[in-house]
Structure 1
């Protein structure tokens, strides 16, 4: 080891890192060149109150060691490093990692007693701790801000900085105050770190944190070659999720958007999996509950955790093998951040997006002339940033394009295009399931038996329930649960796969879609031998 290289020496001795990625080293050197190493340039950089701090935005893929980029220089510079995190769970995770490395630190969060806060400041003032972990709301408290401003602060770090853009304008207004707080603290250097940020998000981050100032951009390609990306449409999300959870390697993380949603999905899947392997996680749980679940999942080898985005930010479990999203996330940044929880150990992993079936899955137009990502950007130039990000993610989930990976990477770069070699996606491998399970049977039902069944009768007929007619396609979905068939029929009617009259003698009776709605391959008659009435059909439940 070259003793003249304190960065490499510290990386090996304190973090057990025998080498640094080029982008890691660049981010670290930007800090040290400005501040200096232990008794170096910090005092000089703080001599003038008019000197603005140096700034950088660092975009590194999940698993590339963003935390090392500010933890390592914190050990080498003279002064305190303030690290701002968005969530208590993430703060706890980072504190646990620092403790494991023997790095002294303090944490400021809601509910601290005056005695605990006094002790934390004592450790910082006496240089027994050099890193302070805080969230935006706690940093803005007058009692905290005043004492921190009196310290010699070398570096302010905003981790998961895309939250400045995605949350600051909605339900976390404290993020919008970070620029003012930084001015008050007057650090020598400011860094914003994230795993995923499009040009629009980077612009918003700089607008809030570095108004009217130049900053350095350190950006790596956000590709994770070990992750296989796929999208699956479903007429019954419940059935698709149950099958994929059973199939995909564990540990497995399932994201959905609402707190009630994760609880409902976890309760449902617990009926099909060993109960001690299923948990749910969201910000509405108490702190002890969240901590217990984090610790359980961190050590689990076969666990399935249902979570909101509260778990998606930086909590470092390296061996998650699969991530499922039920429904489309709000942005590509969110999707890459959350799907990037998988495979942080570098081993092969899967990222699956499950969405409801839509007309584009069946209509001929789905395969014609949908344009490029650049075209989409031109069309949404005048739209709000939030709408534009949501529209990009909708296109990822629904539109026709050659490669999942290049679509995601293209959405994250200025040119809007990417030509990276695909290490694995369902389209490049040719195993995409475009038409959802059950679609052929439901479409064929209305073609063979038009205006014969309403929704409830069709569900009973497809399930092979006792008392339903015996005819072609009877019991075609006998291996489905009753609620799955009902869910599929309702969605099929809503998206126009099948239809019924609202008035007249045939009202509510199902019939085929309008001419041109479905392409010629959709709803081909399944082979009759596949749909005999099973011997145990009386046991099928139809809700």
Structure 2
């Protein structure tokens, strides 16, 4: 049994060095101490418990919220020659019996469990019979009611401290603001542990926001122009919309599949496996999809509806580019999207929870409407300072701003003078001075504000109303008619006590695509070799019925292209190729490299 973490990292996982504070976390838990690890998606959290599991005697128990996450990690570990198993509601009685036997005979190094297992009769007693060296609690933000993905069953994990007082607990998450972090520590009783914080920055992701005009058309244009042959995830709020968008993408020639809780478990599993095992499938999903899916080659994440907060947005966009290669986070939103989320928040919420959610949603809107670097806003939310990134839409195409205080006052005035009863479309018609039947019916052509906004386009007024809503100056009635009304905090703007700035030209076109960082090949021959290596990997994966990335990540294939190893010794120096993979796949990849050398 290997005992030295560096040796395990190199021989088993094929990496020469630890990243960030991985090594510090590993040594900390191997000394029997508790910890909370805050590390971005793709930052290597799993190695923080997988390497101690191999370095120490006994069993590491990993608590995970999703079956898909467990299956994914177990497949990856088994491919590396590591004995691991998943125990959840999808485990057959025969497989459960085999797992019990393997545990009794100490054949497993890692056991993945759903949190519900801890309530099963006799299960805790069974765990107490095993030689457990570590509890790893993955997606630890699920324990917080302030987090974006609260799971009540995670609350049961507070018992671990009392039931197994001498076994270290390692809580890990990629998303936690200060309140969520405090909640994790308190609920899991990690007060005497250490908090390890890595940077939340994902420099390979280009963040882009666009004003929604025709969301589907804009989405199709984005994919066709930038990611025509890539795997991606598209998030929508409703089940119906996921199916509609998937169908429209299919009509455009894309391999797109829907995913939501209304589909049968069998169909969800089928679609998920198709996504994981393909390099081109696009998943159109509700937020129920994606947590813990360790698919490294997702090249884009798109949002056609707003998330509830920046934590959810960060986690969802973080599913792009886990391999560190260039990826895009694209979001289109409009005024109605803001109203949808705010109206949902108002349903059956305790007041303190409602206030917290409103605050978090307003932070998301501030990020969306930002006129400077988006990464600065995003990282600031998680308590991290940053300089302008040079790789978001605002950095690549800095927006020109103008003082639109007078126009904002006109917009607020038209809401008030029409009785705070009408929606955006009608209000804009009044401002533009269009004599529609509805305007004549209510004598709105007689108002002083009729036609005062002719100097601006319909799109400019739409953008301005959206910003007024984003800044919470304006609310929408929930009586089914969608009329806008004024909030108390608009008074200072109406009085001229504060200024209102907007983009000079609301951005309607895609921005940043031509400037998106891409992998640079030195020659056409290099690119051809990369595609041939991907094809070989795909054939091997299909034969083994595993995802291609479990064999090698794209990043490993790129290193094969750039370094062109000619023998097993040279191959062993390529990051991501440990001894087990070298033995299984080394010769066949070397043959291709030699033939094309």
Q: State the TM-score, normalizing by the size of structure 1.
A: 0.70
Indicate which of 428, 443, 459 corresponds to 1:497. Answer: 428
Report if aligned partners of 2:20, 2:198 keep a CA contact under 8 Å in 1. no
Map 1:16-165 → 2, pairs under 5 A:
16-34=14-32, 54-165=33-144
Map Cα deviations across residues 7-34 of structure 1 (whole Å, 9 max, x no partner). 1100011111111113111111111122
Please say if residues 330 and 389 of structure 1, whose CA atoms lie closer than 8 Å, have aligned partners that are also in contact: yes
Per the TM alignment, residue 160 of structure 1 is displaced from its structure 2 partner at its CA by 1.3
Q: Tell me the residue number matched to 2:316.
A: 338
Structure 1 residues not aligned, in runs of 5+: 35-53, 361-379, 436-489, 526-543
C-alpha contact 1:107 1:133 (8 A) present in aligned 2: yes
**CA deviations over 1:244-268 (Å, ceiling 9, x no partner):** 2333312221012333332222123
- 1:349 is the counterpart of 2:323: no
What residue is the counterpart of 1:406 in the other structure?
A: 376
Conservation of the 8 A alpha-carbon contact between 1:140 and 1:174: no
- CA gap 1:237/1:80 in 2 versus in 1, 3 angstroms: same
SS of equivalent to 1:238: helix
* Structure 1 residue 424: Cα displacement: 0.7
User: Secondary structure of 2:199's match?
Assistant: coil
After the TM superposition, which residues 488-527 of structure 1 pair with which residues of structure 2 at under 5 Å, given as runs?
A: 493=425, 496-499=427-430, 505-506=440-441, 514=449, 522-523=457-458
**SS at 2:139's partner residue?**
coil
Cα 1:423/1:32, change in 2 over 3 Å? farther
Q: Report the alpha carbon displacement of residue 177 of structure 1 after superposing the two structures with TM.
A: 1.5
SS at structure 2 position matched to 1:315? coil
- Sort the Cα spacing of 1:524 and 1:254 in 2 relative to 1 into closer, same or farther, 3 A: closer
Q: Given that residues 501 and 508 in structure 1 are in contact (C-alpha distance below 8 angstroms), is that contact kept between their aligned partners in structure 2?
A: no
After superposition, the Cα gap between the structure-2 partners of 1:225 and 1:142, relative to the gap in structure 1 and judged at 3 Å, is same
Structure 1: distance between partners of 2:247 and 2:443: 33
The secondary structure found in structure 1 opposite 2:244 is helix
Distance 1:323 1:221 in 2: 21
Shift of 1:84: 1.0
Q: Compared with structure 1, are the counterparts of its residues 230 and 61 closer, same or farther at alpha carbon in structure 2 (3 Å cutoff)?
A: same
Q: 2:583 is matched with which residue?
A: none
Secondary structure, aligned partner of 1:22: coil
Q: How does 1:8-407 map to 2 (within 5 A)?
A: 8-34=6-32, 54-165=33-144, 172-186=151-165, 188-210=167-189, 213-249=191-227, 250-274=230-254, 277-357=255-335, 384-398=355-369, 400-407=370-377
Q: Write out aligned runs for 1:459-498 (5 A).
A: 493=425, 496-498=427-429
Residue 523 of structure 1 deviates from its aligned partner by 4.6
The match for 2:473 is none
Once the two structures are TM-superposed, the CA of residue 421 in structure 1 deviates from its matched residue by 3.8
Aligned: 1:430 with 2:397: yes
CA distance in 2, matches of 1:144, 1:508: 72
- Output the CA distance in 2 between the equivalents of 1:238 and 1:283: 22
Output the CA distance in 2 between the equivalents of 1:428 and 1:265.
Answer: 30
- Give the superposition deviation at 1:182: 4.5
Moved more, 19-28 or 145-154: 145-154
Deviation for aligned residue 1:164: 1.7
Paired residues, what number?
423
Point out the structure with the larger helix share.
Answer: 2
Q: Cα 1:501–1:136, aligned 2, differ >3 Å: closer, same or farther?
A: farther
User: C-alpha distance in 1, partners of 2:3/2:241?
Assistant: 51
Secondary structure of the 2:298 match is coil
Q: Hey, what's the Cα distance between the residues in 1 that align with 2:355 and 2:337?
A: 26
- Aligned pairs for 1:413-452 (under 5 A) are 413=383, 418-430=385-397
Hey, what's the Cα distance between the residues in 1 that align with 2:459 and 2:448? Answer: 14
Cα distance in structure 2, aligned partners of 1:80 and 1:90: 19
Cα distance, 1:394 vs. partner?
2.2
Aligned runs of 1:522-541 on 2, under 5 Å?
522-523=457-458
Q: Distance in 1 between matches of 2:154 and 2:2?
A: 40
Deviation at 1:359, TM superposition (A): 12
Contact 1:228 1:349 in 2 (8 A): yes
Partner of 2:488: none
2:444–2:450 Cα contact (<8 Å) kept: no
Q: Say which SS state the counterpart of residue 297 (structure 2) adopts.
A: coil
Mark the CA change 1:431 to 1:92 in structure 2 (over 3 Å): closer, same or farther: farther
Q: Distance in 2 between matches of 1:345 and 1:353?
A: 21
Indicate the larger mover: 82-91 or 257-266: 257-266
Describe the superposition over 1:144-202 as per-residue Cα deviations: whole angstroms up to 9, x where unpaired. Answer: 22211332221111111122225889873111111024432445211111112111110
Q: Distance in 1 between matches of 2:326 and 2:302?
A: 15
- The runs of 5 or more residues in structure 2 that have no matched partner are 339-350, 403-421, 461-597
Corresponding residue SS for 2:17: coil
Q: Deviations over 1:319-366 (max 9, x none)?
A: 221110112212222211111111122222111111114799xxxxxx
- Give the corresponding residue for 2:536: none
Contact 1:168 1:175 in 2 (8 A): no
